[in-house]
Structure 1
Amino acid sequence: FWAALEETHPCTRQQRCWVHKTANVLNYLPKRTQPKARKMLHDIWQAETREDAHASFDLFIETFDAKYPKATECLMRDRDELLSFYDFPAQHWQSIRTSNPIESAFATIRHRTKRTKGCLSRDGMLHMMFKLGQSAEKSWRKLRGFAYLADVIQGVDFVNGIKPSNQDQAAA
């Protein structure tokens, strides 16, 4: 997916899912250490500013690197992609820090298509997937900060989730 996106839209920035990254990092730690590590990871992606997130990130690395280098390597590998959300409106952060809402939306479709594999024609399967998607969308959360989408599309640089004022943009 990312390779195709890079080819068609080279300016697109990636945001790694914090839910999946947390699970991956915790897999490298012993059970007794996981609650502390989970809280420290939570402190990174819940930080108010990118600078606070970097400080929390560095603290996690400093705390765990000596004993659990695979865990810290797993986290450090995607540092920039994990913190990309700070370049977008703060109202969007809840939606873009994790891919779980996307996965949850398609879970019901994936569940049904696995069960009916080979039972329907291609058109029948597409119709069923469409209807399942229509049904699932009734419970989807709406995007917060819809008014900022035009700014995001135009490439406005947000700083820690806040749109700079016109004077700040003129100075830059």
Structure 2
Amino acid sequence: MDIDEVVPVGGGLGKVVSAPVLGVAGVLNDGRKYLLALELCGGESFVAWKGCLDDLVARGLRAPVLVIIDGNPGLRRAVSAVWPRAAVQRCCVHKLRNLERKSPKHALAEILDDFHRIVYAANADAARAAFASFERTWGKRCPGVVASLREEGEELLTFFTFPKAQWKTLRTTNTIGRLHEEFRRRVKTQGSLPSEDAAVVLLFSLLASGQIKLRKIDGWQKIATVLSQHNPVAA
């Protein structure tokens, strides 16, 4: 399951605003991605995210084996509250962007290379060794960078416990991110939409009509194996 925020642009009465929309996408047994929720909200608080996830449970959604999220603390708390036994993968792209913002320009390229050694390691043990090396190298020189990396810790490496063919997909919240990019690209010429609700309706319609397509995850053939190795997770 891929959870993130989409920010469509809407307006009204001559105003243009960005309205956060909570987005949740799931993966079916055959690897197809399916949009489960788009919920207009005032922000990404714990209450907002928990309400969104509670609604999915009320609609009959069983707890997922894996939840892929960004670094939003409200979302992380909501996932723990609603699906305490689900594995959590933190989005490596979001973390990369955080590190970029905290890194001094003269060290940025080296820091990013060291981060890539973690998330593109051959296996979990190699990733942990690269993580420890990152801490040793940058702990004194760039303590803020190391502190940022440690915020996610092992949850940056959860994908290593799944089949290697799926790692590329499971590292990031790319599904929701792609929806955001496609939406903004398609409405760019309009400048804005008449309302926040209109923005959400347009995003749904682009998906329903097939103008935005969600491809199957990498390594989808291994999904049955993954599910057979995990007992059903209670919500």
TM-score (norm 2): 0.57
Separation (CA, whole Å) in 2 of partners of 1:114 and 1:5: 35
**Secondary structure of the structure 2 residue equivalent to 1:11:** coil
RMSD in angstroms over aligned alpha carbons? 2.5
AA aligned to 1:98 is T
Partner of 1:170: none
Unaligned ranges ≥5, structure 2: 1-74
Q: Following superposition of structure 1 onto structure 2, how do residues 144-159 of structure 1 map, counting pairs within 5 Å?
A: 144-156=218-230
Identify which of 186, 192, 197 aligns with 1:115: 192
Q: Structure 1 residue 136 and structure 2 residue 212: aligned?
A: yes
Distance 1:56 1:87, change over 3 A: same
Shift of 1:156: 4.4
Distance 1:93 1:114, change over 3 A: farther
Unaligned ranges ≥5, structure 1: 158-172
Of all paired residues, the percent bearing the same amino acid is 26
Partner of 2:26: none
Shift of 1:78: 0.9
Kept in 2, the 8 Å contact 1:108–1:132? The answer is: no
**Secondary structure of the structure 2 residue equivalent to 1:76:** helix
**Secondary structure of the structure 2 residue equivalent to 1:15:** strand
Q: Structure 1 residue 19 and structure 2 residue 106: aligned?
A: no
Aligned length: 152
Distance 1:126 1:99, change over 3 A: closer
**Secondary structure of the structure 1 residue equivalent to 2:131:** helix
**Structure 1 stretches of 4+ moved >6 Å:** none
Separation (CA, whole Å) in 1 of partners of 2:110 and 2:83: 39
Shift of 1:73: 0.8
Q: Deviations over 1:151-172 (max 9, x none)?
A: 3233449xxxxxxxxxxxxxxx
Partner of 2:142: 68
Q: Structure 1 residue 56 and structure 2 residue 133: aligned?
A: no
Higher strand share: 2
Kept in 2, the 8 Å contact 1:15–1:82? The answer is: yes
Structure ID, larger Rg: 1
Shift of 1:127: 4.9
Shift of 1:32: 1.1
Identify which of 137, 152, 162 aligns with 1:78: 152
Distance 1:114 1:152, change over 3 A: farther
TM-score (norm 1): 0.76
* Segment of structure 1 superposing worse, 45-54 or 146-155: 146-155
Shift of 1:102: 2.3
Separation (CA, whole Å) in 1 of partners of 2:120 and 2:152: 17
Shift of 1:23: 1.6
